[in-house]
Chains A and B, each alone.
Chain A
Amino acid sequence: MKALVLSRNIPRFAASRVASILGSGRGAGIGPLQLLDADAPDAPGTDWYPLRPLLSGICGSDLATVDGRTSRYFEDMVSFPFVPGHEVVGILDDGGVDHSGHTLAPGTRAVIEPVLGCAPRHIDPTCTQCGSGHTGLCGNLAIGPLAAGLQTGFCTDTGGGWSTAPLMAHASQLHAVPDALSDQDAVMIEPTACAVHAALSAGITEGDLIAVIGAGTLGLTTIAALHSVVRPSTPCTVVVGAKHARQRQLATSLGADQVVPPDQLSRAVRRSAGSLVLGGRLTEGADVVFDCVGSAASITEALSLVRPRGKVVLVGMPAKVTVDLAPLWHRELTLVGAYAYGSETSPDPGTPDRRSFEVAIDLVGTASLGRLVSALYPLERYEEALAHAGSAGRRGAVKVAFDLRNPKGRTR
């Protein structure tokens, strides 16, 4: 069995960072990522189950890691060497138990909710955040019997999705995949859960004007979440800035009201908001802006698009950026992050709270989000796969994933 393994190797990280200047994902060929023989890791406890990956996606945070561009903020929340891959659908060859205590039969397909919070770390009593279901906000990411790691795919003890060898999944992480969902649908559940969490935690109210910056995986799944999860009970208008033609098609098909190229987004928001313009900035603007890019430019744009006292939600993972916060101060804006997932309060009163993953499992089915999986690569072609993922939008792709079902897998 094989796995892509990322080791702590400072010179190689430096080299990959330089290589990434040529394009996102280009650090794979020269950096610390290596394809090695691998076995399943030892189970950290009796409530851990081996999950043999079928498909495992390549996320923006994975690319940043491979390219050595991740914020140093995360340094103490990973343990080397580790097998990346936290967007995983796999098979429980030996069966297991899911997050709610249900037994899963051998051969069950499952996805993992990869955050390694208090439950997988056997911390009892749990922290306040985990206790209230907000596992993504757990602070105990380097505590307990498990090595440091904010998620599966960043922890040396659990293994990860970029492997033909099983990873180890804690019962609290496991969600069975309904038969109706394809493997492609299932591998989209994790990023979709992030989008669901972002959409539901933004405090959208009826009639709001929403702007979405970026239409990669996170942007598109955010649009789907806004359309299918938020909008049925909270009507709102969604305007999207999408760079590439394929992204614009998908954004429209997923329910955006208006989709424009990025350089037209400000004008589109201005029109919808009925705003004036002062010094190139809108005097009014969107009620909520979802920044699904996470760059200095996109954050700056988000701050210019949002109305006074409006909210900017960072969905895309930012790193160290330089941003003029004068508008944030002057217009009393709220800049808030949306990381991972947790327990979601439905916008529909009377509906009980649900895990982000549960909502996401429904959403990938209703919105057919498996169609966002544009290309599958075998592990052996990881350099090509990462380069493809790094230039997905430009190449008409959205989600690129590793196909671990067949060692001689093919690209499609």
Chain B
Amino acid sequence: MSPRPGFVLEVDHSTPPTLFWHGERFSLEKLPEGSRVIYAPEPIDPLSDPQAAIRHALTHPKGDQEPLPALLFAGMRLTIAFDDISLPLPPMERPDIRQMVIEQVLDMAAEAGVDDVELIVALALHRRMTEPELRHAIGDRIYDAFAPNGLLTQHDAEDPDNLLYLGQTDHGEDVEINKRAAESDLLVYVNINLVAMDGGHKSVATGLASYKSLRHHHNPATMLKSKSFMDQHKSELHTANWRMGRLIRDAGVKVFQIETTLNNDTFPGAFQFLQKREWEWKAKDRLAYVGASKALDRVPARYARQILHSVKAPHRMTSVQAGEVEAVHAITTANVWEQQGVIVEGQTDILTMGLPYISPYNVNSILNPILVACLGLGYFFNLYRNKPLVREGGVLIMTHPTPWEFNPVHHPSYIDFFEQVLSETTDPTEISERYEHGFATDPWYKHLYRTGHAYHGVHPFYMWYWCAHAMEHLGAVIIVGGDPKSVHRLGFRAASTMADALEMARDVVGTSPTLTHLHTPPILMADVQ
């Protein structure tokens, strides 16, 4: 049976309660009759032979690009860069796509007699990955062959000795990327395209860039002109990255882009009910829900977090394409839309969403309040094409406990951002002007980013900028079940129940509002007509 497409359910009196994520927990909420619930398409069929598909992609490149074997020669410098821990979500069961692709690239390099090969984690300003995380992503064999010899490195956006300035775009944007990558005879980039925002020129122009380069598009002005940044053609973020990517190409950096897409088979075995439509739950799904929710309710949040972060997604590869960046990415984007796209008629007054425990920036960590805001207003709000799901001046209701809690190893500058910056203002533009430089150049944050496992000092700013478009668009943001102190610090409103939140929302949008619930994860993209 072929997978069913996405679906918009209209709630009536017989519709069972709807599942809402609430951080490390979840609950069932009865939505008002007439509400809409948007469900993602079912997981599309994976590639039956991914190894063959990878081989085919490498030898049959897209666009103006020779097959990979033809680009490899003895004595060359080959650099393989790959996406970091932020993709996919949750981390996928072994073998990870990156491992499968890189193994084949290395096999071809070996056949060609290439012996100067280095691997670079394209982490931009994200935290460095740990050894277990790297082993999971690229496999033990590759890790053991490269890491002990210093041939597996993590991009350092603050290492002046290992950055190369390539010039300025015609918009005055500095382009500075990893020196080894820039000076290689060939840069192979291995991507996982979880959402439509990923990949394309953004892989190299962002993933291997310095702060000096990133600041040109990771800022409030760009975000306010990206509607949405999940839609490449209406995203200033992408436009800037494309300008930079073309400059990188014109500077002589030869990029062989390998992009992959996944199906949205997000949760394994006992958690499969999380990606099913509630009215189709069978007895075992209801039992699994009761068992899981009771268990997670009874353990402290940190243990619930550990349990959920140990879950690996049964994602499977649905496509792989390689070659010239733009030609590859056009196919990739279409494939992402095939899996995630849902046509939705019209906007809504109130958009609800349950926020889960994980975002791209807290794998094996805490979804701190800034990441809560970013996941809701930055990511989920922007999962649209054409128009936002919620109308201008509408209300966004999110469910999450939003504890005043941070991982000091991963997110040290987030603590200071939350304590100091948000206590002064929540306006992204003002924040950018008053505080970004200080955080970006703070020697302690730099030290922790470069030597520990900390996100760069400026990273919480970027998370806040991600929210800029939603903040400008929305009339109010309400978090149900959140720590009121944290919620208020974010500049949002706190409600103890969904009923209270809806009552508060009516004060903003009127007494007979339309309501739409974004039932994600699994990830979906709303094509709002």
Q: Taking beta carbons and an 8 Å cutoff, which residues of A are in contact with B?
A: 258, 260, 264, 267-268, 270-271, 274-277
Contacts and interface: CB of A to CB of B under 8 A. Distances in A.
A260 B444 contact: no
Contacts of B438: 271
Contact of B419 (A264, A274, A275): A264
Nearest to A264: B419
Question: What DSSP secondary structure best describes chain A's contact surface?
Answer: mixed
B420 A274 contact: no
B416 A267 contact: yes
A274 B416 contact: no
Given A267-B415, A271-B438, A276 B420 contact: no
Contacts of B415: 267
6 contacts: A258-B420, A264-B419, A274-B443, A274-B444, A275-B444, A276-B443
Contacts of A274: 442-444
A230 B352 CA distance: 53
Contact of A260 (B420, B443, B447): B420
B270 to A, nearest CB: 40
A19 to B, nearest CB: 35
The 4 closest A-B pairs by CB, nearest first: A276-B444, A264-B419, A267-B416, A271-B416
Nearest to A274: B443
Contacts of A258: 420
A276 B447 contact: yes
B419 A267 contact: yes
A268 B424 CA distance: 13
Nearest to B424: A258
A258 to B, nearest CB: 7
A271 B413 CA distance: 10
B420 A270 contact: no
Given A260-B420, A270-B444, A276-B444, 5 more contacts: A258-B420, A260-B419, A264-B420, A274-B442, A276-B447
Contacts of B416: 267-268, 271
Interface string B117-140: 000000000000000000000000
A258 B420 CA distance: 8
Interface in B393-448: 415-416, 419-420, 423, 438, 442-444, 447
A277 B409 CA distance: 13
Nearest to B419: A264
B222 to A, nearest CB: 26
A258 B438 CA distance: 15
Nearest to A275: B444
A258 B416 CA distance: 13
Interface of B: prevailing SS: helix
Contacts of B423: 260
A267 B439 CA distance: 13
Q: Of residues A260, A275, A276, which shows the largest number of chain B Cβ atoms within 10 Å of its Cβ?
A: A276
A271 B443 contact: no
A268 B435 CA distance: 13
Contacts of B420: 258, 260, 264, 267-268, 271
Contacts of A260: 419-420, 423
A241 to B, nearest CB: 12
Contacts of A275: 443-444
A81 to B, nearest CB: 49
A276 B449 CA distance: 13
A277 B444 contact: yes
A150 to B, nearest CB: 41
Nearest to B445: A271
A17 B420 CA distance: 40
Contacts of A267: 415-416, 419-420
A274 B419 CA distance: 17
Interface in B201-256: none
A276 B419 CA distance: 18
A275 B443 CA distance: 7
A275 B416 CA distance: 14
A267 B423 CA distance: 14
Q: Which of A258, A264, A268: most chain B CB closer than 10 A? A: A264
A268 B417 CA distance: 10
Nearest to B439: A271
B418 to A, nearest CB: 10
Contacts of B444: 270, 274-277
A119 B423 CA distance: 51
A274 to B, nearest CB: 6
Contacts of A268: 416, 419-420
Contacts of A276: 443-444, 447
A246 B447 CA distance: 36
A167 B438 CA distance: 55
A255 B444 CA distance: 28
A277 B415 CA distance: 15
A260 B422 CA distance: 12
Nearest to A258: B420
A242 to B, nearest CB: 13
A109 B362 CA distance: 65
A366 B121 CA distance: 59
Contacts of A271: 416, 420, 438, 442
- Among A267, A271, A276, A277, the most chain B Cβ lie within 10 Å of the Cβ of A271
A264 B416 CA distance: 9
Nearest to B413: A271
A209 to B, nearest CB: 13
A372 to B, nearest CB: 23
A252 B444 CA distance: 27
A348 to B, nearest CB: 30
A275 B442 CA distance: 8
A346 to B, nearest CB: 33
A122 to B, nearest CB: 55
Contacts of A277: 444
Nearest to B447: A276
Contacts of B442: 271, 274
B453 to A, nearest CB: 16
Interface string B23-45: 00000000000000000000000
B408 to A, nearest CB: 10
Nearest to B444: A276
Nearest to A248: B423
A276 B448 CA distance: 10
Contacts of A270: 444
A271 B420 CA distance: 10
Nearest to A282: B444
B406 to A, nearest CB: 11
A74 to B, nearest CB: 40
Nearest to A277: B444
A267 B416 CA distance: 7
A275 B423 CA distance: 22
Contacts of B419: 260, 264, 267-268
A260 B419 CA distance: 8
Nearest to A260: B419
A207 to B, nearest CB: 16
A271 B416 CA distance: 8
A264 B419 CA distance: 8
A264 B444 CA distance: 16
Nearest to B418: A264
A257 to B, nearest CB: 11
Nearest to B446: A276
A268 B423 CA distance: 12
A271 B424 CA distance: 15
B434 to A, nearest CB: 12
Nearest to A259: B423
B405 to A, nearest CB: 14
Contacts of B447: 276
B29 to A, nearest CB: 34
B255 to A, nearest CB: 37
Contacts of A264: 419-420
A275 B448 CA distance: 12
B372 to A, nearest CB: 20
A270 B438 CA distance: 12
Interface string B356-372: 00000000000000000
A276 B438 CA distance: 14
A277 to B, nearest CB: 6
